[in-house]
């Protein structure tokens, strides 16, 4: 049974730290991605991409040749390099060829845990990382991935990666108030 569920529609929200404000909906049909703003979001007058996605009612369609059909404001939530490597290897462990994973599938795995204010539902991010992190163990796990011996650590590394960009291993972590423990950032 696969832990990667194909996604046809993603609800987009924005979270500035309190409640999630609905922004709109992304949908995919025959490799074409469409977006429609939520009417209440249009009324707020908050621009998320004024030049490429102006606030207006109706459905917008995106060209597949740019970011696999995902407009830049949403594509920026996806991981580059390292995060994509982790997710693609995880997909393979689930019996899924990474080329069959769509941008909407990837956004659903970012869910509510991306680097910016945009959040996505459904949220398939498996948030099962431990409360306390051992950096030596984390470095060993990253090395295991780079050497190809990684199936059992992929899910934890994906959770810690968030949607951070770049080609090098990294984790989104924090330090507790007393500065005595390194912990996973949520």
**Which residues of the chain fall short of a pLDDT of 50?**
1, 129-130, 160, 162-164
- Residue 43: what pLDDT? 96
- Residue 25: what pLDDT? 97
Coil vs helix vs strand at 166 = coil
Cα dihedral 74, 80, 116, 3 sign: positive
* pLDDT tens digit sequence for 44-79: 999 999 888 999 999 999 888 888 889 889 999 888
What CA–CA distance (Å, rounded) separates 121 from 28?
A: 14
Terminus-to-terminus CA distance in the chain, angstroms? 27
**What is the side-by-side strand order in the sheet with 32-37?**
59-61, 32-37, 20-29, 9-15, 118-121
**pTM above the 0.85 mark?**
no
Distances 47 to 50, 76, 116 between C-alpha atoms, Å = 5, 16, 15
- Residue 79: what pLDDT? 80
């Amino acid at each position: 049974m696969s832990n990667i569920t194909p996604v046809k529609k993603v609800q987009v929200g924005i979270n500035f730290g309190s409640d999630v404000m609905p922004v709109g909906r992304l949908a995919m049909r025959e490799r074409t991605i469409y977006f429609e703003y939520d009417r209440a979001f249009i009324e707020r007058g908050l621009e998320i991409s004024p030049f490429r996605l102006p606030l207006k009612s109706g459905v917008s369609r995106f060209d597949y040749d740019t970011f696999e059909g995902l407009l830049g404001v949403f594509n920026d939530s996806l991981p580059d390099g390292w995060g994509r490597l982790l997710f693609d290897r995880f997909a393979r462990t689930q019996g899924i060829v990474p080329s069959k994973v769509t941008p909407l599938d990837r956004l659903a795995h970012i869910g509510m845990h991306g680097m910016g204010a945009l959040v996505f539902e459904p949220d398939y991010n498996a948030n099962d990382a431990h409360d306390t992190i051992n950096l030596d163990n984390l470095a060993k796990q990253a090395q295991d991935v780079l050497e190809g011996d990684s199936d059992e650590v992929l899910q934890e590394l994906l959770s810690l990666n968030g949607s951070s960009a770049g080609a090098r291993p990294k984790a989104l972590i924090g330090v507790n108030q007393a500065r005595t423990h390194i912990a996973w950032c949520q």
